[in-house]
Structure 1
Amino acid sequence: MQTYLFILAALLYIGCAFLPSERRLPISLGTMLGWILHGGALTADMFAPESVRVGFAVMLSATLWISVAAYWLENRNFSLDSMRVMVLPVAAVAVILPAVFPGNMVLLTGKSDWFLWHIAISILAYSTLTIAAFHAVLMVLQESRLHTRPGAMARSGGWFAMALDRLPALLTMEKLLFRLIAFGFLLLTLTVLSGVVFSEKLFGTAFRWDHKTIFTLLSWVLFGLLLAGRRWQGWRGRTALSFTLAGFAILLLAYVGSRFVLEVVLHRVLI
């Protein structure tokens, strides 16, 4: 049953991604319906009595589920329709991944209460920084469009180009980006701290120096440096975008990338 819901949600996401911008109501309703189906199927797939499913596909699907909600809410406050063509197709792929790569069920019996909190906070941190990365890509495209000659700009029409032209000013976009990064950094800090508590209770050590820990801490340092540079050095523009995309790429490797290698390439089952 979940598989059919995943497929239906993916079809709704794809359909809404490529509808003309003028169809605002169908896009909004279709996205919301896809999001509800996605969330219902994901919840039914992830949770069972006294157990929870973990894996790179589930994590990625949950991350994009929250990212779709963030896009939907953000687009109602600002004209960010061009983000739709980036977020929804990625979400359509992510939504069906758990059916292909189911991961494994982990028993919660004997586990610390911090375990589920750690997972929830991690997903929120991933989701916030994922939408920040999409936002950064939009800013790169917007800046490139602004530097295009008027004649070439007129020839490079299309609904996506027009959607880029309707974006808020770059300064406004930059303020939104740093709000997302600041919130994501806070959640990532809580992820690291809850991970310390979880690791201490389960493994008897505060840090397990594996790929996940190293990449997570490196991403945390990059986002922290970006916020500090913004605060004291006035970092902005290309510097901010480069830090954002690099930090997100490393964070993606921290769990999703390492779990993909373990589950799909090496066929190992780990927590």
Structure 2
Amino acid sequence: MILAFSDGWGLAAAAGAATAYAVLALATPRLGEGALRGLLLAAWGLHAATLVEALLGTPPRFGFAPALSMTVWLVLTVYAVERRLFPQLQAHWALAGLGSAAVILAMIFPGTSYHVIASPWLPLHWALGIASYGLFAAAVVHGWLMVRAERSIRQAGQNHAGVPLLTLERLTFRFVEAGFVLLSATLLVGWLFAETLYGPGLGWKWDHKIIFSLLAWATFAGLLMGRARLGWRGLKAVRVLYLGAALLLLSYAGSRFVLEVILRRA
């Protein structure tokens, strides 16, 4: 189970990414802007290499830990882009810590090996699902920054997020809206083409993954409707966002964790 890399460079890239993230998380206050940018870029690139090695290795692997690792990588990608638009955005240490933990978790639990894939469209279905994970995770990060900023303002303190509160709120809901579209597409494709993607006899099943996914979808739909019709904002909206994200996390990552780690079944 542990450190199951098909090539030595995959293990080296994973170790390098985890180390670079850890240094970034611990030393952010003492590093200049150039050093921060370079270290983040190095960690991001090594992290991407570990994902490529897992998905394109011989055989390819996927599971709850690689899914979480890819989600964190997508969040870091969004953060890197946003830093170009909002240089004052401050979340280096928290995201770097998540990145290091995600890479190490994927090293310990590399997932299931897929020697045969029923359909060449299955990786695209996975990509849609993971992209929705990433967008909702980005929304959670921005929601957390929004709550911190709002609390600081109420206490007459400094906004440590570095971005205006209304901007954080707008970004949070843009990520929720985009994630909701991708989650809807993922569920619709899984419902209509399950046997094509996974093979004969493996159609839509009312298992834990589907139930939690639909509950998450309903929660996010309620959040967007509540914002549009009832004007939900601030902590109330963020709490609903957290609930939806927790349900979505339990859907794929949670069910795969039970199968791979607790039940030890592929």
> After TM superposition, is the score higher than 0.5?
yes
Does residue 243 of the first structure (1) align with residue 247 of the second (2)?
A: no
Q: Which runs of 5+ in 2 are unaligned?
A: 1-7
Give yes or no for contact 1:83–1:135 (8 Å, CA) kept in 2. Answer: no
Aligned-residue offset at 1:44: 1.2
Q: Which residue of 1 aligns with 2:95?
A: 87
**Which is worse superposed, 100-109 or 252-261?**
100-109
SS in 1 for 2:28: coil
Note the alpha carbon deviations across 1:209-252, whole angstroms, 9 max, x for none: 11111111111111111111212222211221111111111111
- Give the whole-Å Cα distance in 2 for the aligned partners of 1:238 and 1:39: 34
Note the alpha carbon deviations across 1:37-71, whole angstroms, 9 max, x for none: 1111221122235x531211111111111111111
SS in 2 for 1:208: coil
Give yes or no for contact 1:9–1:35 (8 Å, CA) kept in 2. Answer: yes
Q: Which amino acid aligns with 1:189?
A: S
Note the alpha carbon deviations across 1:148-169, whole angstroms, 9 max, x for none: 2x5xx4xxxxxxxx6x435222
Note the alpha carbon deviations across 1:178-228, whole angstroms, 9 max, x for none: 111101111111111222234232254652111111111111111111111
CA RMSD of aligned residues (A): 1.9
- Give the whole-Å Cα distance in 1 for the aligned partners of 2:35 and 2:138: 22
Say if 1:76 and 1:122 are closer, same or farther in 2 by CA, change over 3 A: same
Spell out the pairing of 1:65-104 with structure 2 (5 A cutoff). Answer: 65-79=73-87, 81-104=89-112
Does residue 29 of the first structure (1) align with residue 38 of the second (2)?
A: yes
Give yes or no for contact 1:60–1:94 (8 Å, CA) kept in 2. Answer: yes
- Give the whole-Å Cα distance in 2 for the aligned partners of 1:166 and 1:68: 16
- Quick one: which of 32, 57, 62 aligns to 2:65? 57
- Give the whole-Å Cα distance in 2 for the aligned partners of 1:71 and 1:21: 20
Give yes or no for contact 2:44–2:76 (8 Å, CA) kept in 1. Answer: yes
SS in 2 for 1:165: coil
- Give the whole-Å Cα distance in 2 for the aligned partners of 1:261 and 1:75: 37
Does residue 105 of the first structure (1) align with residue 113 of the second (2)?
A: yes
Aligned-residue offset at 1:254: 0.8
- Give the whole-Å Cα distance in 2 for the aligned partners of 1:216 and 1:145: 34
Q: Which amino acid aligns with 1:6?
A: A
Q: Which residue of 1 aligns with 2:184?
A: 189
Say if 1:118 and 1:21 are closer, same or farther in 2 by CA, change over 3 A: farther
Aligned-residue offset at 1:128: 0.8
Q: Which amino acid aligns with 1:141?
A: R
Q: Which runs of 5+ in 1 are unaligned?
A: 154-161
Say if 1:80 and 1:121 are closer, same or farther in 2 by CA, change over 3 A: farther
Q: Quote the sequence identity (%).
A: 36
Note the alpha carbon deviations across 1:9-63, whole angstroms, 9 max, x for none: 11111222231276111111111111111111221122235x5312111111111
Q: Which amino acid aligns with 1:215?
A: F
Say if 1:209 and 1:21 are closer, same or farther in 2 by CA, change over 3 A: farther
- Give the whole-Å Cα distance in 2 for the aligned partners of 1:21 and 1:193: 48
Q: Which residue of 2 aligns with 1:156?
A: none
Does residue 124 of the first structure (1) align with residue 131 of the second (2)?
A: yes
Q: Which amino acid aligns with 1:121?
A: L
Give yes or no for contact 1:79–1:168 (8 Å, CA) kept in 2. Answer: no
Say if 1:26 and 1:53 are closer, same or farther in 2 by CA, change over 3 A: same
TM-score by length of 2: 0.89
Q: Tell me the matched-pair count.
A: 255
Q: Which residue of 2 aligns with 1:218?
A: 215
- Give the whole-Å Cα distance in 1 for the aligned partners of 2:134 and 2:226: 23
Give yes or no for contact 2:219–2:240 (8 Å, CA) kept in 1. Answer: yes
SS in 2 for 1:267: coil
Note the alpha carbon deviations across 1:83-106, whole angstroms, 9 max, x for none: 222211011111122221121111
- Give the whole-Å Cα distance in 2 for the aligned partners of 1:194 and 1:181: 20
Does residue 141 of the first structure (1) align with residue 141 of the second (2)?
A: no
Give yes or no for contact 1:35–1:65 (8 Å, CA) kept in 2. Answer: yes
